[in-house]
Amino acid sequence: MQLTNNEIVKDFLNHLLGEGKSAVSVKNYKSDVAHFLAWAVLRLKSFGTYAENFLEITPFINHDFFGSYKSFMVENKTKIKTINRRLSTLRGFSRYLTSLQVLDLDFMEGIQNVGIGTPTKAQEKTQDIVDRFRESLSKDKKASPNTVKNYISDVRNFLAWTSEFDIDNQKGKLPNGI
């Protein structure tokens, strides 16, 4: 099925209505997809890649890209309920696009919601390290706010990636024998 950018989103929204979703829910889905697409276009432009619409973004979409989006929302202090709603929307959108064969894989699979509750000691320690790194970049290195934001995002993504592995039980090895 070959659809244009607008048709993909409209078809997804019509699919949701067909599933019995309320008009308010569909409005939220539309807003969530639009938010992600706007972020994706800006994110790719920050890497020097020009993309204007979803079809031009698809070659860059992978699990890490969605992880970066999640980190972006957390770093910008988006409400947890909003983050989780957007992630839920994107899970549905990703499954839908996979069913249409617009995407080869469901890249939202495994992207978990942001937790609600008291952070663990490890999370607090990680946050402290990230905060000190941010402060160091801002004061000592005199980095621009955008540079700081990008570095912090990269560090958070790296820490999230490494937290998926129990190094002690893996005999010191990360994935792919690293």
Identify the pLDDT of residue 56. Answer: 83
Identify the pLDDT of residue 26. Answer: 94
Residues of the chain with CATH 1.10.150: 5-99
> Residues 73-76: contacts with CB within 8 Å, 24+ apart?
73/114, 74/114, 74/156, 75/149, 75/152, 75/153, 75/156
Identify the pLDDT of residue 30. Answer: 94
Identify the pLDDT of residue 141. Answer: 67
Tens of pLDDT along 85-128?
Answer: 999 999 999 899 889 888 888 888 878 888 765 555 666 677 77
Architecture of domain 5-99: Orthogonal Bundle (1.10)
Identify the pLDDT of residue 119. Answer: 59
Distance CA 141, CA 109 (A): 38
Distance CA 117, CA 171 (A): 32
pLDDT along the chain (178 residues), means of 10: 68 93 94 92 88 81 85 88 93 90 82 70 73 78 77 80 57 52
Burial of 56 (0-12, 13-18, 19+ CB in 10 A): middle
